[in-house]
Structure 1
């Protein structure tokens, strides 16, 4: 029995932000009905694959698809056919939440925009997830995560030493949209309990990402110039929020600018004289960065891990995903879970103390009407 048991979600989303949002609901007991085209969600075909399902009876599924769609059911509907639209109307009639991720205008052409769905289910919570929202100059501009990051200013500060933007390692716009959509839907469900009224949520990836720049883009928000990475405290201008190369070609990170951490490290290294530089404005810590760069180059990454073991400093080795998933912390927290058939899942971040969680089945592509 999960926190969302009894809630029914009709999910017309694909790829990442929408499926991530609805799998978080499925993980908490919601009935999520995934409506797919005949070809299925494109994530189904994204390698690599693993075996998911009961031991001895499992099937090969994309790891991406399995982790974002476990615990759901799937149905193929042709929404351009009378049979398909009738089946979707039947699903809506018993739904609490309707989620779609098409470009603005598509749902209206199909006859399932908010007003049409509300006519079928007056208290529906309807959520549209798109790149730039349902209106505005960019509403119809095609984009996935990186293009949204580029237009929101984030990619400009995801840059290398020469100032050239690089491909980001995390799909921040997708992440922000999935979490924002989930929060908005849950707020709307709570509000419906009080008022009996549903809601329409216009969730844009761009809008969802933008508020997360407040700690770095303050000067621009205030009407001034855009921050530059080399002179910004969280983007590379500070010695104690920085990545350093080790003697074996690996890397370590200092991830805390508090003066206590600087004092602890510089004292241990016998260079308390450099402590004033740790208090200098970002962009004016070059001498300290150069010293730490030369220092970290004298030992291997693993030697530094051992050296820092008894130091109270915000330090971490830079691990790849294989190393990270094999860390004891992952096992201790139960964050990497094998299903019955052996396929691996990343556990949901939302888990409640005292309650067990196990991954739900991965839905097959059911090629029939609802």
Structure 2
């Protein structure tokens, strides 16, 4: 909610700036909030879902929200025909997000992981009530005692930080692998978005068609992610992105280049959608929010290079797509070293993530 408020204020103030310095400052404020406007809510949703519903609900939410915005954005810009009005129009919907404060509950899984049992139990009882389920007081009391016991045994009141992702060799390797994959994913995705502007016959039509690819790119994981698995689908998506981009680099007819490039964008979007969910399923609950934020930040750092990738067209028209294809192949190689989390329990502690990477079963609560 603080991030959405920050983005709203920064976005609205940018529309009233009279010089570039103040405009840069206000957009910097928007940029600070950008990642945290949606990722924490995504993580919250993941932590309140059983494994069998994660692909459906997470990809469905991306489909119904991101798709219309991606397709309408160029036409909203054309209708506004003024950057000040565009800044206001694209910032105003954040008011709706702020109103969600009165509807959302905190993640019970996260509250349990930091020892706030009473609050977590109240939220669990509220969720049960909303869903029309009855939980006996004996069961809730027993469950709360189990949570307290597990918390005392496994954590010993330890405060976990982002550094815990790098304390052991295996956890460090998994974290760095996730970072590298996401950096390539963000770079490839952003480069595709920028390159399509130059490729298509009309920037508004091409951008809208490319944005429409978000629908099938979300529906594919929606239906097949649990059957194919995270690793296989992500691997094939990166290979598909590489193939589509490479073919686009070799072609010379403009509409053919646009078609193959959009296919590459389609595959890049699949990797983008899977990447967020996969990282959330691999990282432990105690540092999941920090870990995903760190990975996302590194992705934004790598996406700064995307204009330079697109700019290589001055040396060769096929260079941008060829570079994107090479990066996609590199990401596919790194995917091979991550554990598949299909239908797995979300890890609570770094030790659980290490077990996951060894294909060992995770026990969330211990019994005495």
TM-score (norm 2): 0.23
TM-score (norm 1): 0.23
Structure number with higher relative contact order (C-alpha < 8 Å, ≥ 6 residues apart):
2
User: Which of the two has greater strand per residue?
Assistant: 1
User: Which of the two has greater helix per residue?
Assistant: 2
